[in-house]
Structure 1
Amino acid sequence: MTTCAQRLLELLETHSIDTVFGIPGVHTIELYRGLADSPLRHVTPRHEQGAGFMADGYARASGKPAACLIISGPGMTNIATAMAQALADSVPMLVISSVNRRDTLGRGQGRLHELPDQQRTLAGVSVFSHTLHAGEALDEIVARAFAVFKSARPGPVHIEIPLDVMTQPVADTPIKRAAVYPPAAAAAGLDAAAAWLAGAERPLVLLGGGCVDAAADARALVERLDAPTMTTINARGVLGEHHPLDLGACASLPAGRRVAAKADVILALGSELGETDYDLVFDDGFALTGRLIRVDIDAQQLARNQAADLALLADAGEVMRGLLERLPVAAARDAAAQVSATRTALALREADDVAPYAELLDTLRDALPEASIVGDSTGPVYAGNFIVEMPAPRRWFNAATGYGTLGYGLPAALGATLAVPERPVIALVGDGGLMFTLGELATARDAGVPLAVVVWNNDGYGEIRRYMDRHAVARLGVDLPAPDLATLAEAFGCHAARVDDPEALGQALAASQAATAPTLIEVDAEAWVRHR
């Protein structure tokens, strides 16, 4: 026999979890019994929100979920924001929490960390949230979580374990781990989709984040179709750099919308067709008049945002391979010329919201061309969502999509560094967002990683300032002079540099990779813009 808490560690190892983010507390002590002697790596953030963002970045960079061990009550409300971001962007994350004894739940006795109903509170930011009422059910519930991660639209799963259940004895039986496969589309649906695409005069492909693990199939399919292709922010890099059929994330812009409106058959793969990818101007102006084929691993998503004419419940990669089998001859539609003309019409690098940041983004790529860039909600990231190209997926992601939280960039970048240590990582953040999770500099220092934290310092919330100005609202609460960031970084035991031109930024980025602690690189926004 073993305890439920000890069994949990065995289950995590069996299901290939190798990293756990958590802050120990009196309600999670039993979860830590034996953790120091296990193969699991434990990382201690400075806030539970940081733990969630780290797990998010870990999963996005590697494709593998991490686990979080979180105390009941305030620990769970702290991590809820990170879970909501992960849920919005379909990022797998296993959140294990404590909760008070079963006999006290729902009684309102004012016990330590008590919530009226913790499970229901977290259900809204989870794929599912479960209270474990008996230790012998633990194997089943953990298996359910991994079935979701591997065969459904992923997201956070929350399992709370009452204090008295943690110490329950459970049988130390062999752990059964199923081979789980995602759903495949019905042959009739694939036949119909292939026929529509073969007969199309002006097809359009929309690639979403559900395609990141099928990049080779995506490239082969769009080339076979010879179709213009829009790739969402979460699909950045699926077609590689400078692909002649890739329009990028231009669905919110007039030239991109004209392409979409003229398409007679649209194939949407692994995309929710949501506002933060297709309607960043918030006018509901992304119109599809052609026949829409939707492919998604979530049945409900097939009916949201845009009505489909043909809906396939399936893994995007499986569908792409099925279509390639049914479309053996490459079409010749001269789509590359159309894409080139649309890119010229878009003139993205000259746009008012992009031009100030283009040279900054170029410098990041030139200095560390293999790096993953993990962003917060900040001006350079918004611009990069339009113009940055990546050689492969899972190298450009940020919190500007979906839930759109601040404070994501630094901890998520640390998670990405821990997940793929052989690849450089740049955290691209603003001074406003950095202050949300500044304490995670200490966590990154503890990890001893050469993380480059590039801070666009414009003394406050620059994007909201511009929004207020544009809508004739008097500025209030947005002019917030930053502290001395270099001194703060050094106080944390990190390296620091101040730069205001591309040459200095490139040098600081190169130097950061030889360090054994993070380097905070502060970009003086006003001086940088003057340099242009």
Structure 2
Amino acid sequence: MMNRYGDDKGVGSRRVMKMSFGERLIALLKEEGVSALYSQGDLSMKDIQKHAELEGLKIIGPRHEASGVFMAMGHYVLTGKPQVALGAIGPGQANLLPAAVTAAQEHIPVILMGARRHGRVDRSIRRGRWLYAPLMPMFDAVCKFTAKVDSLDVLDEVVREAFRQALSGTPGPVYIEYDYKLNEISADFSDLLPPARYRALPQPAPQSSISQAADLLRAAKSIVLLGGERVHHSRAHEAFARLARLLKCPVLTTYGGTGALPETDEQWLMYMSRAGQQALADADVLLAAGTCFPELANYGRLRHFSANDKHRQVIVIEPDAAAVGVNRPVDIALVGAVDLVLEQLIAALAGGPAFAPHRQLPAWRQDYLRERQAMLDGLPRTNRIYPGRLMAEARKAVPEDAIIVVDGGLTMLYQHACFQKTSTDFLYTANFSHLGTGLGLAIGAGIATQGRRPICLLSGDGALGFHLMDFETAVRHKLPLVVILNDDQALGAEMAQHMEHIGHQIEVAFGPVRYSDIAIAMGGFGVYVDKLEDIVPAVRQAFASGRPAIVHVATDQDASYAYMPPYIEELVSWLEADPTSDGA
């Protein structure tokens, strides 16, 4: 008798199935909701890729393995499901490592798998081994869990432990190294287990803590709701918005939480704005959902958070009990999955009297809008395009429901101030700020949404250059991706520091490159813009082209040091805000 997983031998009440290495691995991954493998084609993963294709998984071949990890990260943020990135023997494994660091710092679970020479080569004492390096200690230092699979009898338990560790506590990457000769081997396996049989699924918070939090919120005079990156990771946008509507309070977001509530929402205030600062100073209760209070949010206790902090009580929604209270003291910890805890709070609050509209929120919102308009009106007018004006113009043409991805140094600062987020999906490496991640994140987001939503990558030229060849990957998979390129022919943040400290730049400026022509050469759409008034029609044309596109905008290189980005003092406040920091 046969089943879709191989020969069914049936031993008593327990089925025994003959399955190859790749066949069993894909079956295990499918049980966990994996829908894509980010992997170049290679002999060391041929059986994995064969059965992935047979079982309907998407296989995306990046031009560099690190970019494949970034793609898996983007896929996770759009679905809440960990995906798999693979590296071939030796160099392919090594290329996974730098991106594993980023996944760890961004708290994103990725299942990393690296092929290795067979066990005897691994254990031998030799010099000059072909396609070999002892990489496990390096992955040990970065990943939450690492393991070797040298025989099929441990495959199930290793994969299950990998998911168990990747998703428990603070999520993060895990690494499985397997003997490439397993591609030629089959073995007997018992029935697959559903994930609920071998790991704890997301848990709600204790009801006693929910009741305490509800009582505190009902007694509060002025509440602020703060959204972090885990609102995105848990796909809790709708519940977060419903809680905001219920509380009728100001809503702020961290950098990683940008878009948890669209910035066009009448309850949203920019943290660094005058109105955002006033809302914090006035608040006697702060409800923080899905954030560890990172350094770029001043640890939730410094700068603007310090005003009235002694008289403010703090409620946190945090899945990892070990993360509670690390960056700032808290009063009530709701330890549980962000999406589940938000629903618990809504249920606990919805049954009582309605919250009164916040008395000052309409005035604060209007003050913020006036401040924002004055900032936009005051942007420098230069002979070449000022990057802030690029962002403001691009916003007029980018579809409102587009997934927004950001990559770059000063580019991130310009978009944060000038490019209003109108959708809930925003991807950026907000903790590690790793240049070169953007194209991979955008491709992963496109694969996750199966090309049904437009994607906009706002990137600097320095950042795009790291993995530019993966634009061809976007073309190959026909993704609706438009890159809006802020090309100042420099690493802008470094240029500013060199000009201030040295008086001239040293290897932070680039020669002229027509990125739009590169896009065309790879089979995409490209357009070059050097006039402000041409930005809107060029972006619209790019989205209408039906192909991956690069809108190459030539911007003012001098802007990085002649005109500081809006809110620059706030944006770099992490340098000096923490009295325990060394300022570096």
In the alignment, does 2:374 pair up with 1:374?
no
Q: Does 2:156 align with 1:139?
A: yes
Instruction: Mark the CA change 1:307 to 1:470 in structure 2 (over 3 Å): closer, same or farther.
Output: farther
Which residue pairs with 1:440 in the alignment?
A: 470
Q: Which has the larger radius of gyration?
A: 2
1:469-488 matches, within 5 Å, as: 469-470=499-500, 474-488=504-518
Q: CA deviation at 1:522?
A: 0.6
Report the CA distance between 1:372 and its aligned residue.
1.3
CA distance 1:137–1:457, change in 2 (3 Å):
same
2:348 pairs with 1:326 = yes
Aligned to 1:58: 75
| Matches of 2:432 and 2:146, distance apart in 1 | 19
1:416 to 2:455 alignment: no
Question: Residue 246 and residue 519 in structure 1: after superposition, are their counterparts in 2 closer, same or farther (change >3 A)?
Answer: same
CA 1:472–1:517 in 2, change beyond 3 Å: closer, same or farther?
A: same
Distance (Å, rounded) in 2 between the aligned partners of 1:186 and 1:270: 17
Query: Which stretch has the larger CA shift, 204-213 or 483-492?
Result: 483-492
- Kindly tell me: are residues 320 and 277 of structure 1, through their superposed partners in 2, closer, same or farther at Cα, counting changes over 3 Å? same
The offset of 1:337, in angstroms, is 3.1
Deviation of 1:437 after TM superposition, in Å, equals: 0.7
* Residues 402, 423 of structure 2: 8 Å contact kept: no
Which residue, out of 136, 157, 176, partners 1:159? 176
- Aligned counterparts of 2:546 and 2:275: Cα–Cα separation in 1: 46
Matched with 2:133 is: 115
Q: Are the counterparts in 2 of residues 494 and 519 from structure 1 also a CA contact under 8 Å?
A: yes
1:161 counterpart SS class: strand
Q: In structure 1, what residue type is equivalent to 2:513?
A: P
**What per-residue deviation string (whole Å, max 9, x for no partner) do you get for residues 72-91 of structure 1?**
43223322232222222233
Q: Point out the more displaced range, 146-155 or 197-206.
A: 146-155
**Structure 2 spans left out of the alignment, 5+ residues:** 1-17, 381-385, 563-584
Query: Percent identity, aligned pairs only?
Result: 24
- Equivalenced residue count is 524
Is the deviation greater in 405-414 or in 334-343?
334-343
CA distance in 2, matches of 1:464, 1:453: 23
Shifted more, 118-127 versus 412-421: the winner is: 118-127
Query: How far apart, CA to CA, are the structure 1 residues paired with 2:348 and 2:544?
Result: 50
Alignment match of 2:114 (pick from 82, 97, 102):
97
Q: 1:350 to 1:115 in 2, by over 3 A?
A: same
Letter in 2 for 1:44: G
The one of 24, 31, 35 equivalent to 1:18 is 35
1:308 is matched with 330
SS at match of 2:528: strand
- Which one-letter code corresponds to 1:405 in the other structure? H
Cα distance 1:445–1:239, how it changes in 2: closer, same or farther (>3 A)?
closer
CA distance in 2, matches of 1:354, 1:230: 24
2:424 corresponds to which letter in structure 1?
A: P
1:241-320 to 2 correspondence within 5 Å? 241-248=263-270, 250=271, 256-278=276-298, 286-287=305-306, 288-289=309-310, 290-320=312-342
TM-score by length of 1: 0.88
CA contact under 8 A between 1:453 and 1:520: conserved in structure 2? yes
Q: Distance in 1 between matches of 2:374 and 2:140?
A: 42
Long gaps (5+) in structure 1: none
Tell me if structure 1 keeps the 8 A contact 2:31–2:195.
no
CA spacing shift, 1:349–1:169, aligned 2, 3 Å: farther
Q: Distance in 1 between matches of 2:542 and 2:208?
A: 54
Inter-CA distance 324–16: structure 2 relative to 1 (3 Å threshold):
closer
Query: 1:460-513: CA deviations, max 9, x gaps?
Result: 111222244455665322122232323333332332211134543332333323
**Structure 2: distance between partners of 1:260 and 1:183:** 30
Take 1:354 and 1:277, find their aligned partners in 2: how far apart are those partners?
Answer: 25
2:390 to 360, 376, 392: 360
Q: Which residue of 2 aligns with 1:350?
A: 375
Q: Tell me, yes or no, if the aligned pair for 1:425 and 1:451 is still in contact at 8 Å.
A: yes
CA distance in 2, matches of 1:321, 1:412: 29
The 1:33/1:449 distance shift into structure 2, 3 A limit, reads: closer
Shift of 1:440: 0.8
Deviations 1:91-126 (A, max 9, x none): 33222211233344365524233333x233113333
- Tell me what 1:215 maps to: 237
